[in-house]
Amino acid sequence: MRTPVMEVLRKSRSEVRAAVMDDYSRRCAGFSWGEARGWLDGLPGGAGLNIAHEAVDRHATGTQGERTALRWLGKQGRQRDISYRELASLSSRFANVLGELGVPPGAGVFLLAGRIPELYVAVLGALKHTAVVTPLFSAFGPEPIVTRMTLGEGRVLVTTASLYRRKIAPIRDRLGALEHVLVVRDDDGELPEDTHDLVARLDAASDVYTIPATDDETPALLHFTSGTTGKPKGALHVHQAVVAHYATARFALDLRPEDIYWCTADPGWVTGTSYGIIAPLCIGATLVVDEAEFDAEHWYDVLESEGVTVWYTAPTAIRMMMRGGSERARSRRYPALRFIASVGEPLNPQAVHWGVEAFGLPIHDNWWQTETGGIMIANFASLDIRPGAMGKPLPGIQAGVLRHLPDGGVEEVTRYGEEGELALRVGWPSMFRTYLNEDARYRRCFVDGWYLTGDLVRRDPEDYYWFVGRADDMIKSAGHLIGPFEVESALMEHPAVAEVGVIGKPDPVIGEIVKAFVALKPGFVSDESLRRELLGFARRRLGPAVAPKEIDIQSSLPRTRSGKIMRRLLKARELGLPEGDTSTLESAR
């Protein structure tokens, strides 16, 4: 007989003692980022702090070197285990390949591939070489790729032969900074022209590599997040971020060296890099890497057969699994599974309860952003869960709820339950250091020593934080943060389109879908054929994850007096809300 849900949500004393965050108040009171830095080794001879050294090289010697670092599950049933010692060797080979190609430190290395071993080797090898690493979502269409590689001045691209032929070859002449393409053969065709065979280059390279001195502020990772207007923003992180990656994996995910850990996020997104590569390897855990796309039965298979102990996934995936009921999950056995966490968008209370019904474990929501670089607020293993809450701030993180003042300053909201903007006191190691080439926009993110997150929250008397909504027009779809302007710009390239407005339409499974409202140029007729053509056009330009799922063709779009399309009014009409009052829009997200 299963334990009642509320009993599971209330932690027993033995569970509290067993969790890494055994005493929340004590941990917060006695914690410092200097202490957390001491948990890491640093480069030999005091040469600084390098992410790849902490993730692989420091584990590669002694008995830990034979521990499986990465267990790869291929689509065709193949499996490959890579030890920490082998991963250290392979990543050093990749660093030497970059050196042989004349790639200097600080150069942009982009990766466009699915979850294949070579991607993980390349990320770590590029970090050893102190290149700036940017993984791209492999489902991106050509326009998002061009935009990001142009902004990030990508000089090296690691991809597969099939992706190169489909997505890079047609646009390579638009990638002015690109000098070298390293290809993993995944089809029967010839090696694409003007590319390098990555596996052959790795085999020929030396596995001896000395990581250069790496200052804390050496750029390491460039992650793109779209804004509501303009091009995607490039948030730059430094090697010091590894201190937060390690500490937050311990505290928020309760991760330990003996764990078998599975993060389902694509490495093209920040979660898939920070917690799908760096953090678990820094801990010394075994990382499960599943190449296949989502399928509920397959996921149950992985959890059961691989003995996963800690599972980090997304609310969209959880809701899709919920649609099949809890019986499918209960038909399996997961004796090793002890902790489930979720991120990407708010996790509704029903999902928390479903976790107990399906797995005998609640799902622990947590919150962070591309800009924060690591988890900032979490439901910890040792604390009671409040279903629907974001959780509490991590040790070393001071959060606040702010009200904006007319003079441009801010003040803290002290009354419990009152809404305001979530803000974080600056100074944590994984805080982004700039928006690439947009210093003014970066400075606007900070007021009076606070980082302004753009998320609206409230705080309860027990200091749990609750998400209210976004303070801007960003669309959260299946865990992806999508900027309306990027979608609008792509649709505007169609010869029939005069203007476009894009909103997020609430969806019970993926949070929001992208919906576009289009006005046509004179001479074009609105019909079903054209609507389908526009859907296909956007999908080819943007990829299926970003392109709109619905398009409405209208005679005109609402505008402000200054000529800006009123997205909020479009959303009010879509939801059937009074057009003169859009104050309830955020609660509909």
Residues of the chain with pLDDT under 50: 1-2, 12-14, 16-17, 227-229, 561-562, 580-589
Q: What is the pLDDT of residue 585?
A: 34
- Give the chain's length: 589
Instruction: Return the residue matching tokens 């917060």.
Output: 28
**CA dist., res. 362 & res. 356, Å (int):** 5
Where in the chain are the domains? 5-365, 475-588
Beta-carbon contacts of 11 under 8 Å, excluding residues fewer than 6 positions away, are 19, 381, 382, 383, 384
CA 185 to chain centre: 27
Q: Which two tokens stand for residue 10?
A: 């209330």
Neighbouring C-alpha atoms within 13 Å toward the C-beta of 330 = 13
Q: Find residue 197's DSSP bridge partners.
A: 183
Q: What pLDDT does 506 receive?
A: 92
- DSSP 8-state class, residue 210: P
- Please say whether the beta carbons of 122 and 158 come within 8 A: yes
Structure tokens at 284: 């010394």
Domain 5-365 in CATH 3.40.50.12780? The answer is: yes
Q: Residue 133 in contact with residue 98, Cβ under 8 Å? A: no
Token pair for residue 444?
């606007």
What's the predicted TM-score (pTM) here? 0.85
> What is the residue-wise DSSP string for 540-565?
HHH-TTTS-SEEEEES---B-TTS-B
Q: What is the pLDDT of residue 8?
A: 63
475-588 CATH: 3.30.300.30
pLDDT score at 23: 84
pLDDT for residue 19: 76
The burial of 484, by beta-carbon neighbours within 10 Å (0-12 exposed, 13-18 middle, 19 or more buried), is given as buried
Angle subtended at Cα 173 by Cα 169 and Cα 178, rounded to the nearest 5 degrees: 90
The CA distance from 449 to 423, in Å, is 10
Alpha-helical runs (H) found in 254-374: 270-273, 279-283, 296-305, 315-322, 327-330, 349-359
Q: How far is the C-alpha of 291 from the C-alpha of 293, rounded, in Å?
A: 7
| Helix residue ranges per DSSP H, 164-273 | 198-204, 241-253, 270-273
pLDDT digits (tens, 9 = 90+) for 483-523: 787 888 889 889 999 889 999 999 999 999 999 999 998 89
Whole-angstrom Cα Rg for the chain: 24
CA quadruple 531, 534, 536, 537: dihedral, nearest 10: 170
Which residue, among 342, 160, 168, 357, has the nearest Cα to 265 in the 3D structure? 342
Nearest alpha-carbon partner for 117 in 74, 163, 60: 74
Q: Compute the half-sphere exposure of residue 434: CA atoms within 13 Å on the CB side of its CA.
A: 10
Residue 461 CB coordination number (10 Å): 7
> What is the predicted pLDDT for the residue at 588?
32
